[in-house]
Structure 1
Amino acid sequence: MEDFQAILDQYQVKLEFAEQHSPRLVKVYSPQGTFGLKSLRNSRTKDFAERVRSVYENGYTHLVPIYRNVYGSLVTAGKESYYYLMPWLPDSQADERSARHDYLFKEAASLHRQTVQEIKLQGGEAEAGFEAMKKKWEDQKNAYEAYVEQCEKQWYLSPFELQAVTYFTETARATDFAIEKLEEWNEAMKEQETVRTAFNHGSLSVQHVVYDSSEKSYLLNFEKAHRAPPMNDLLQFFNKTFRTYPIRCEECVDWFYTYQKNFPFRKEEMPLFISYLAYPEAVYRIVLSPDHQNNKGSQLQKNRELIKAYWYFKNNEYFVMRLVDIENKKKAEAQAEG
């Protein structure tokens, strides 16, 4: 078992009581105050301190403070893992679900705005990326179509095959739309010499929004922070949000435009964002799995996986269509005023 006092000695903190709050988070009670002692996964230890330093140096300060040990390091080695120490915030704010999400998206926009950098493209880089992605999507659509044709030649379809055939038309149409948006992005990129990158939080969630006793809000858990296109944080958030039963998340539209008010996408970024969301990757992953096509495993389990992928696809579809409708109205209004 880890010797927490030995770790806390490096922060000159005397341990009175330790409470296991989660598998990797310990709540520390001491005469110096209450702290959170968090263990790092091995894969995240190496770059964690540098990531946190970079976020601070770029001017973003709304992250939960991380204390340095007596050696000036943000990370301390224990017997079993590496750790970092932070204040334990009571998070007593009882705000509404939407209000906390609004704050999350405002902070994501602030983080991206404070850390944004322009990266110069190499000749033909965007075009090459476009061609590779378009080919991948077309190949998956063609493979799905070939599977459907093979199924339709059979006298009897398994439950999984029947579901796969049923979903093909919608999946193919969504793919065509995603490729159309990808082509729109490629056309817009011909006018651009740079792309934007920023520090991504890497795990946006309202569970990572906390408040102190004065109701000041913070983001925590920057263990997955990395530099990438700003939209990646939003794609990761909506990827998790839409993996559920069928929903029409109108709040998600509001949260997205809360972000846009604080850090708007550039002209070429919106079609790419929509393209990624619209593409039914989850359905292709299940249908084109060799194990599923070879009728290996439980039909019940395979059908469950396919139905969940279809729900995810349809949840994305509603969100995408709402964004497209809003963006089209904006363009029409701008043309009318112009």
Structure 2
Amino acid sequence: MEWKDIFDTYRIQPNYIEQVSEKVYKLNTNSQNYCLKFTSLTEDQIGYWNAVYRYITERQVYGFVPVILTKDNHPLYLMDSHVMVMSPWVDNFRHDRPADEWINFFHGLGKLHGSTLDHTPVSYTENQISEIQQFFRNDKTRKKEELLQYIRYFESKRYMSPFELQACMHYRDLEWMMEVTEKWQSVYLELLKEKQSRKAVLCHGNLAPSHYTLLQDNIYFFNWEYARIDSPSSDLVVYLNNLFTYHDCDMNKVSDGLSIYFQYVRFQDDDICELMFDLFNLESYFSLLNEHVSNSSKEEIRQSIQLEKRYRQLVFANQLEQTLYAKLQMNQQEY
């Protein structure tokens, strides 16, 4: 790696370089510290990311950790097919975070989404709604048959592995979640008849807990390489699934946090439906089953851990569903 070229490009001279992770380096200088990240972007994606960057700077988006420009005023630096981005170093002390971190997070995400919220006009014909309804039916049939095939295959063995026993124990719950999803789909199809617009916001794209920090009760997001204009649900689902990975997830705090977020971005009933569809998405669960069946190396422990995490995410999503469905029914009674 030609460090001198990088230093010349950013016009800095570090005293020393600390490798923090495989892709992240901390550059220590006399004046301040910098974060140099080797992104996952390809050369073909640079133009799109530059457009997102211009959008962020022109609209002065809340909570965006600034990017250090190169001497040619570019936000990204391409060297030997590697796309790099430089920003001020922001310390991220997990143990120093307040007990109400989630509340602060939902305030911060609400401000981010609320400040970039746009509405795109839409309308659905009867034929389009019928096509969506048919898609829902076909998708449910496919998933039920696929899941049942896996379970029958596992149960046909004389001795099931721990992973296969896990999947069999999950079966009834997953089947129930498919029925719950169908309930939301029925509501959604009715709402489409009156739907007039779709929400679009600037999404971070990868809201893992390590991609934001709290400074004096303000939240700052970094690692923006997957940023895009998308439905607000896409960010919410990523963050919620990160929370749902842990067995001690506090669902009361999640519900309170969503109530705060909805004050910034008011979710209509169809938005809530789309959020639930994403939370109840079984494709990643099926991918793990398929990997287990087709993977000859049989990394049993890793596969079991991943399956349990995905199942836990679905279980917590089912708990949240009860709260959101009550909210949806209350909204409909008001109308």
| 1:204 Cα deviation from its structure 2 partner | 1.1
State the number of aligned residues.
329
Of the three residues 219, 222, 225, the one matched with 2:224 is 222
Residues 119 and 197 of structure 1 are in contact (CA less than 8 Å); yes or no, is this contact kept in structure 2? yes
Of the three residues 122, 127, 144, the one matched with 2:147 is 144
Determine the structure 1 residue equivalent to 2:88: 87
Determine the structure 1 residue equivalent to 2:315: 317
Determine the structure 2 residue equivalent to 1:269: 271
97-106 vs 66-75, greater mean Cα deviation = 97-106
| 1:46 Cα deviation from its structure 2 partner | 4.0
| SS in structure 1 of the partner of residue 90 of structure 2 | coil
Residues 77 and 83 of structure 1 are in contact (CA less than 8 Å); yes or no, is this contact kept in structure 2? yes
| SS in structure 1 of the partner of residue 267 of structure 2 | coil
| SS in structure 1 of the partner of residue 65 of structure 2 | coil
For the pair 1:110 / 2:111, whether they are aligned, the reply is yes
User: Matches of 2:21 and 2:299 in 1, distance apart?
Assistant: 33
User: Matches of 2:297 and 2:7 in 1, distance apart?
Assistant: 50
Higher Rg: 1
Residues 269 and 328 of structure 2 are in contact (CA less than 8 Å); yes or no, is this contact kept in structure 1? no
Q: Structure 2 matches for 1:52-63, cutoff 5 A?
A: 52-63=53-64
Of the three residues 183, 192, 217, the one matched with 1:189 is 192
| 1:297 Cα deviation from its structure 2 partner | 4.2
| 1:94 Cα deviation from its structure 2 partner | 6.3
- Quick one: structure 1 residues 194 and 28, their matched pair in 2 at CA, closer, same or farther if it must change by over 3 Å? same
Determine the structure 1 residue equivalent to 2:69: 68
Determine the structure 2 residue equivalent to 1:173: 176
Q: Partner amino acid for 2:260?
A: T
Identical-residue share of aligned pairs (%): 17
319-328 vs 34-43, greater mean Cα deviation = 319-328
259-268 vs 154-163, greater mean Cα deviation = 154-163
| 1:198 Cα deviation from its structure 2 partner | 1.3
What are the Cα deviations for residues 244-263 of structure 1, in whole angstroms up to 9, with x where unaligned? 5x445323333333322332
Q: Partner amino acid for 1:236?
A: V
For the pair 1:253 / 2:255, whether they are aligned, the reply is yes
User: Matches of 1:258 and 1:123 in 2, distance apart?
Assistant: 31
What are the Cα deviations for residues 113-153 of structure 1, in whole angstroms up to 9, with x where unaligned? 1222222336445654453244223211023335556777x
User: Matches of 1:169 and 1:112 in 2, distance apart?
Assistant: 37
Residues 154 and 160 of structure 2 are in contact (CA less than 8 Å); yes or no, is this contact kept in structure 1? no
| 1:166 Cα deviation from its structure 2 partner | 4.0
User: Matches of 1:95 and 1:290 in 2, distance apart?
Assistant: 39
Under a length normalisation based on structure 2, what TM-score does the superposition of the two structures give?
0.81
Residues 235 and 277 of structure 1 are in contact (CA less than 8 Å); yes or no, is this contact kept in structure 2? yes
Structure 2 unmatched runs, 5+? none
User: Matches of 1:150 and 1:19 in 2, distance apart?
Assistant: 50
| SS in structure 2 of the partner of residue 22 of structure 1 | coil
What are the Cα deviations for residues 266-293 of structure 1, in whole angstroms up to 9, with x where unaligned? 1211122123323544443444x2862x
Structure 1 unmatched runs, 5+? none
Determine the structure 2 residue equivalent to 1:22: 21
Determine the structure 2 residue equivalent to 1:40: 39
- Quick one: structure 1 residues 98 and 235, their matched pair in 2 at CA, closer, same or farther if it must change by over 3 Å? farther
- Quick one: structure 1 residues 57 and 183, their matched pair in 2 at CA, closer, same or farther if it must change by over 3 Å? farther
Determine the structure 2 residue equivalent to 1:78: 79
226-235 vs 76-85, greater mean Cα deviation = 76-85
Residues 113 and 263 of structure 1 are in contact (CA less than 8 Å); yes or no, is this contact kept in structure 2? yes
Residues 137 and 175 of structure 1 are in contact (CA less than 8 Å); yes or no, is this contact kept in structure 2? yes
User: Matches of 1:108 and 1:95 in 2, distance apart?
Assistant: 20
